[in-house]
């Protein structure tokens, strides 16, 4: 059995052992329902309070502005649907609802907007350039007095492109100063969390989504930051958990794990530089050793996460490449989805202007805190052989 090498940190990260340690008491003895008045309940409700404070500190907001959910997808759903629901209830009959987003959002955002379109909401999908970035002037041009919500992902999960969230935040703040009708601003910061500034005040966002399992925390837990005063209504109804915005007995171990994972994130220059060295070695190694390979995504390093690289390999199909690499011990992913329900390749790569065949031949390699130079070198050594073999089969 070959040693397995993990290059899919953007899909999920391993649980940090120190995070697990903090979670364990809540999976064993401390089982109380946080809503119970007795000591068992007090114990877990205090743990949740502590976790909320930690997350709030990291985001530079108040603990009352933090909601724990069951996933980042749920956070995105609550942010978008919850805000639109609250805004629409206040509107007069016939008053329109308009929202702006991008073509490269995660499905957890895009599908919610598509669903809202069916309910009469006008949705504008901003295009991106070949670098995976939106043009701020395009965004400005689409804002109307009817715009209620803007949702732009902080960093893209497939190509790592980083949007200018602070700039967008400033534009919205300027408009909100003079316009009577406020615009609310949501960002999905799931992929950004490990690397970028998440101070919600400097970003100028009203809502921000985070995931536990992308930051070496547990699966099954997400966070939604909701700025005080933002109109929002629950989409999961029931008990009055999470300020009445998300019914369901709290996943205490998950919440504690989430907060511990967040408090371990260090946005240090040293960390970033270390990762950039690995990424640079990977990019040079692949481009120099595999004929007919090209890089997808931002050209400028500062526009891209240090952890995500996306290539296309002429004459091979992504899924077979992923499976062939898996047989060699490397875990990577692709934007090629070849199933009879979704024959279309990645919506992100297509939005960036890639032709179908290039999108189908894409490979995403995402690095993480356990990635080593040795792993990169092993990959660069193996990849050309695997690509060549598949090219022989494809005759290209």
Partner 1 sequence: MSIYNKKIMEHFTNPKFFGKINDADIIGKAGNPRCGDLLTLYIKLEETRLPARQARSKKQMIISDIKFETLGCASAIASSDMICQLAKGKTMEQALNINFQDVSNELGKLPPLKIHCAQLVTEALKDAINKYNNPAKWDKQVK
Q: Of 114, 140, 299, 396, which lies in the binding site for partner 1, with binding defined by CB under 8 A?
A: 396
Distances (CA, A) of 139 to 36, 83, 143, 168, 279: 47, 20, 7, 8, 31
At its nearest, how many Å lie between partner 1 and the CB of residue 365? 19
In the residue annotation, 338 being an active-site residue is answered as yes
Check binding of 385 to partner 1 (CB under 8 A). no
Evaluate whether 261 touches 19 at the Cβ level (below 8 Å): yes
Indicate the Cα dihedral angle 390, 391, 395, 396, nearest 10°.
140
Check binding of 343 to partner 1 (CB under 8 A). yes
Check binding of 141 to partner 1 (CB under 8 A). no
Check binding of 393 to partner 1 (CB under 8 A). yes
Question: Which of 74/317 has CB closer to partner 1?
Answer: 317
Check binding of 345 to partner 1 (CB under 8 A). yes
Check binding of 46 to partner 1 (CB under 8 A). no
Check binding of 388 to partner 1 (CB under 8 A). no
Check binding of 340 to partner 1 (CB under 8 A). yes
- Residue among 144, 127, 146, 123 at smallest CA distance from 135: 127
Distances (CA, A) of 108 to 91, 190, 324, 338: 26, 11, 29, 20
Question: Which of 268/339 has CB closer to partner 1?
Answer: 339
Check binding of 373 to partner 1 (CB under 8 A). no
Question: Which of 194/361 has CB closer to partner 1?
Answer: 361
Q: Of 141, 173, 273, 323, which lies in the binding site for partner 1, with binding defined by CB under 8 A?
A: 323
**Residues 248 to 267 in contact with partner 1, rule: CB under 8 A:** none
Q: Catalytic: which of 24, 27, 164, 338?
A: 338
Helix orientation angle between 252-263 and 17-27, rounded to the nearest 10 degrees: 160
Evaluate whether 132 touches 159 at the Cβ level (below 8 Å): yes
At its nearest, how many Å lie between partner 1 and the CB of residue 388? 13
Count residues binding partner 1 (CB under 8 A): 27
Check binding of 107 to partner 1 (CB under 8 A). no
Handedness of CA 360, 366, 60, 27 (dihedral sign): positive
Token pair of 132, please? 């995976």
Check binding of 202 to partner 1 (CB under 8 A). no
Q: Of 141, 173, 344, 373, which lies in the binding site for partner 1, with binding defined by CB under 8 A?
A: 344
Classify burial at 41, counting beta carbons within 10 Å of its beta carbon; exposed 0-12, middle 13-18, buried 19 or more.
middle
Check binding of 291 to partner 1 (CB under 8 A). no
Query: How far is residue 194 CA from its own chain's centroid?
Result: 11
Query: How far is residue 29 CA from its own chain's centroid?
Result: 33
Check binding of 292 to partner 1 (CB under 8 A). no
Token pair of 54, please? 């930690």
Q: How many CB atoms lie within 10 A of CB 100?
A: 25
Angle at 233 between CA 228 and CA 237, to 5 degrees: 130
Q: Of 157, 320, 366, 371, which lies in the binding site for partner 1, with binding defined by CB under 8 A?
A: 320
| Strands, E assignment, the chain | 5-6, 66-69, 98-102, 122-126, 147-151, 184-188, 207-211, 222-226, 293-296, 308-313, 330-331, 362-366
Check binding of 332 to partner 1 (CB under 8 A). no
Give the binding range for partner 1 (CB under 8 A) out of 78-86, 110-118, 182-190, 317-325: 317-325
Residues with a catalytic annotation lie at: 338
Kindly list the residues in this chain that would bind partner 1 in the complex (CB under 8 A).
315-320, 323-324, 326-327, 336, 338-341, 343-345, 355-357, 360, 392-396
């Amino acid at each position: 059995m070959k040693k397995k090498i993990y290059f899919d940190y953007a899909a999920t990260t391993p649980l940090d052992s120190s995070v697990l340690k903090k979670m364990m008491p809540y999976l064993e003895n401390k089982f109380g329902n946080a809503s119970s008045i007795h000591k068992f309940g007090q114990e877990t409700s205090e743990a949740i309070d502590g976790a909320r404070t930690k997350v709030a500190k990291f985001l530079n907001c108040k603990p009352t502005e933090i909601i724990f959910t069951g996933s980042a997808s749920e956070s995105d759903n609550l942010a978008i649907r919850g805000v639109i629901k609250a805004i629409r209830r206040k509107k007069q009959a016939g008053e329109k609802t308009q929202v702006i987003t991008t073509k490269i959002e995660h499905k957890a955002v895009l599908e919610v907007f598509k669903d809202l379109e069916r309910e009469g909401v006008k949705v504008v999908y901003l295009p991106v350039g070949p670098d995976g970035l939106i043009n701020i002037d395009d965004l400005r041009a689409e804002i109307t007095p009817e715009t209620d919500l803007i949702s732009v992902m902080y960093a893209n999960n497939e190509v790592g492109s980083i949007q200018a969230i602070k700039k967008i935040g400033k534009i919205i703040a300027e408009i909100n100063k003079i316009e009577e009708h406020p615009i609310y601003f949501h960002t999905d910061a799931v992929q950004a969390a490990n690397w970028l500034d998440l101070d919600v005040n400097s970003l100028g966002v009203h809502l921000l989504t985070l995931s536990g399992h992308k930051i070496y925390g547990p699966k099954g837990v997400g966070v939604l930051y909701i700025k005080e005063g933002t109109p929002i209504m629950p989409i999961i109804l029931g008990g009055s958990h999470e300020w009445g915005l998300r019914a369901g007995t709290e996943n205490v171990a998950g919440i504690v794990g989430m907060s511990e994972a967040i408090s371990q994130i260090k946005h240090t220059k040293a960390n970033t530089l270390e990762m950039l060295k690995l990424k640079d070695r990977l990019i040079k190694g692949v481009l120099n050793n595999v004929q007919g390979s090209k890089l997808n995504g931002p050209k400028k390093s500062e526009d891209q996460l240090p952890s995500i690289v996306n290539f296309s390999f002429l004459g091979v199909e992504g899924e077979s490449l992923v499976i062939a690499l898996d047989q060699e011990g490397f875990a990577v992913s692709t934007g090629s989805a070849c199933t009879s329900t979704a024959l279309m390749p990645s919506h992100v790569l297509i939005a960036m202007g890639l032709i179908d065949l290039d999108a189908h031949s894409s490979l995403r390699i995402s690095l993480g805190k356990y990635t080593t130079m040795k792993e990169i070198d092993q990959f660069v050594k193996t990849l050309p052989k695997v690509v060549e073999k598949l090219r022989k089969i494809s005759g290209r």
